[in-house]
Amino acid sequence: MGAAVGTHLHFQRLERLLHERHLDLGDRVHLNSTGSQPYLMVKLPGDRGVVLSQSRLGHALVWLIVDPVLGSEPSIWPLDTSSEVLVDAIHAHATARLAGVPVASPWRWHESEPSDMTELADLLSERGVHVQRVAAGNRYFAYGPRYEPKLHIADGHEGAYVEARLSDIFVRVSIKASVGWLVDIYDPEREAWTRVDLGGSLGRGKLPTPGMPRADVPVSRIADLICDGPKAWVESGVPWETSKPSRASAETWSDVEESLFLTEPALRPAGAREHLDAVLEQLATFGFGDIREGGPDSLIHSDTYHVDWSGRTKDLSTSEIQRLNGLAAAAGEDLPKRLIVITNGRISGPAAEFADKAKAFVYGLNPATGRLNPLNSRARDLLPPLTEPSRYILE
């Protein structure tokens, strides 16, 4: 009883706030407080309306904005979304329908604030590219059957991103704090993602580090690159498979990592030579551009990174990461090198935090398969998308 009264009072406050912030709606605002499911509506001509309600999708209670346009995607917001955002969102949808125009950005992308991602989505849409999804400030969206939608919450490690479709090719453009811009392309025929080498694609040559700093490339240049299509994209490594839908929801990051690359573990022997080839392949795929086979003193050489691969099985401590980071800095001739660690063990939480601050990448090697598993957040940020784009489409 108490919860129902609280919900009713909340909707009353939303009604008042909608009137206060958006006088243009006048008497179109209607609060339906009868029954167990109250809702706020902005009436449209023909007994239709844009509706704001609370709805349960799976186990989660969310805010849901639905408008009457056939085929439109519901706008889903977390339960702790501010009242100001909710009333501004329903206003944006309602005024667009009243005027017969598309919902204004950033609301059309289910975002409350302009961002690099909403700007990119706007630029792509203006040039005829189908934007499938924007995930930035609001990471909630619906997928599955429209009559019984499910809720997906984009993982924070995926960064802010835009997913778009060009013909039969899907593109994900993301910004992550640790690496900047990343572009991944998905080929449905191969059921695999490939990372785009942004340096090569933008005429700057192959870059030694993954990604490209946000400040180095304007959003408009990224939009141009996407619209130029596959002929303009230089791939950075081998393709990798997506995880299987039946497994993805229950797997850990480590489990999913085992299924990323196209060569099945059973087909790849786990000897020293095979380990080296597999590690070089994966690092190149993540976007490390100057990684190459080394000599007797170091299995892997790089002009930018000091790669420590000693085969240790003991868990890495903070003091050990600090020591290795010092060795990496001293290994550079003109500038300090950054650190990549490949270990057969694990890493402590504080050590992983220090590795992130030192801009190091730490990977665990699975000796049975030659697969690399990211052990710190900075390394995890370089993982490819883990699922095919069509998995989270609203049908």
Chain segment 275-287, per-residue pLDDT in tens: 999 999 999 999 9
Res. 249: pLDDT tops 50: no
What is the arithmetic mean of pLDDT over 136-145? 94
Lowest mean pLDDT among 232-241, 310-319, 325-334: 232-241
- The pLDDT tens digits of the residues spanning 100-139 come to 999 999 999 999 999 999 999 999 999 999 999 999 999 9
**Above pLDDT 90, what percent of the chain?**
70
Three-state secondary structure call for residue 33: coil
Res. 250: pLDDT tops 50: no
Cα(81)–Cα(86) distance, rounded to whole angstroms?
7
Lowest mean pLDDT among 248-252, 304-308, 312-316: 248-252
Cα(77)–Cα(86) distance, rounded to whole angstroms?
8
What is the arithmetic mean of pLDDT over 203-223? 94
Res. 267: pLDDT tops 60: no
**Above pLDDT 70, what percent of the chain?**
91
pLDDT score for 372: 92
Q: Predicted confidence band at 247 (pLDDT cuts at 50, 70, 90)?
A: very low
What is the arithmetic mean of pLDDT over 202-220? 94
Cα(79)–Cα(10) distance, rounded to whole angstroms?
12
Q: Predicted confidence band at 245 (pLDDT cuts at 50, 70, 90)?
A: very low
pLDDT score for 25: 94
Q: Which residues of 206-241 are buried (b: 16+ CB within 10 A; e: fewer)?
A: ebbbbbbebeebebeebbebbbeeeeebeebbebbb
- The pLDDT tens digits of the residues spanning 28-71 come to 999 998 777 899 999 999 889 999 999 999 889 999 999 887 67
Res. 350: pLDDT tops 70: yes
- Return all residues near 160 (Cβ < 8 A) that are at least 6 apart: 115, 116, 117, 135, 136, 174, 175, 176
Lowest mean pLDDT among 40-54, 245-259, 318-332: 245-259
What is the arithmetic mean of pLDDT over 2-27? 89
pTM of the predicted model over 0.95: no
Query: Is the C-alpha dihedral spanning 83, 132, 98, 146 positive or negative?
Result: negative
Torsional class of 193: left (φ above 0), alpha (ψ -120 to 50), beta (otherwise): beta
pLDDT score for 265: 43
Q: If you average pLDDT over every residue of the chain, what do you get?
A: 89
Q: Predicted confidence band at 243 (pLDDT cuts at 50, 70, 90)?
A: low
Residue type, 214: R
What is the arithmetic mean of pLDDT over 278-305? 91
State the helix-helix crossing angle for 83-99 and 2-21, rounded to 10 degrees: 60
Res. 345: pLDDT tops 50: yes
Q: Predicted confidence band at 242 (pLDDT cuts at 50, 70, 90)?
A: low
Q: Which residue has the tokens 């919860």?
A: 3
Q: When comparing pLDDT for 2 and 220, which is higher?
A: 220
pLDDT score for 337: 96
